[in-house]
Amino acid sequence: MIQNHQGQMHENMHTGPVPQQMNHGGHEVFDVHEVLSGSISTLDQYMLLRPMVKDQELLSILDRQYQFMQQEYNTTVECFKTGQDPTVPTQSYKMQQENDFVYGLKPSQPRKPALSPSEITDACISNCMLGTVKANAGMKTKAALETTNPVVRRVLADSVPNCVEMAYEISLYQNKHHYYQVPQLAQQDMQQMLNAYAPAQGQPQNQQGMH
């Protein structure tokens, strides 16, 4: 058997010792392929959308996220191929938006699909960005749950919060420009929902006479 950097042993019941770059389970291989394909699709979408961005703030978000996702993609590819720690470890994405949401709905025109590239607005672009980043978060989470290689699992798990942070940054940008409006419940309904749960206390008790 072989031993990786975390002291775990790997052996195939049919063929014996498993090379470091081969210590992946079947589910893991398919799921990581899906993650990497999703990452490529996201990077391609960002590249295609970039020339149509009009707002400099959105362009800055797009460029920063693109660079970060590109490096994260390279990190995932490397550790997936080698089964070992990547040259550049997973970083933490830091958004530059403030955490202030504007609540409530304002009158707006109904949305509909664009019929030509000239109709693509910053609202459309930021919505495409948000959708693909949210999809990546789901794929990476699912893949991490099925991953047996400890390095790949850690890289995938560590990258999920980055997807969450990027999606939050885009939604904050959209909210500020009234592309993403956030309704609230009536105050009485909100209060009832907030108080719907109480803290758990104590330990479970065995019932007397139960066998």
Q: pLDDT per residue over 107-149, tens digit each?
A: 888 888 989 989 999 999 999 999 999 999 999 999 999 898 9
Give the phi and the psi of residue 56 in degrees, each rounded to 5: -65, -30
Residue with tokens 């993609």: 73
The DSSP bridge partners found for residue 16 are 12
Q: How far are the Cα atoms of 23, 27, 103 from residue 4, in angstroms, in the given order? A: 10, 20, 50
pLDDT classification of 98: cutoffs 50, 70, 90: confident
Question: What does the alpha-carbon distance between residue 108 and residue 176 come to, in Å, rounded to a whole number?
Answer: 14
Greatest C-alpha distance within the chain = 75
* Whole-number percent of the chain with pLDDT over 90: 66
- Domain 22-99+120-181 top-level CATH class: mainly alpha
- Each residue of 75-90: pLDDT tens digit? 999 999 998 899 999 9
- Each residue of 3-62: pLDDT tens digit? 344 444 445 544 444 455 556 666 788 899 999 999 999 999 999 999 999 999 999 999
Domains of the chain, by residue range, sit at 22-99+120-181
* Whole-number percent of the chain with pLDDT over 70: 86
Residue 64 pLDDT greater than 80, yes or no? yes
pTM flag (> 0.85): no
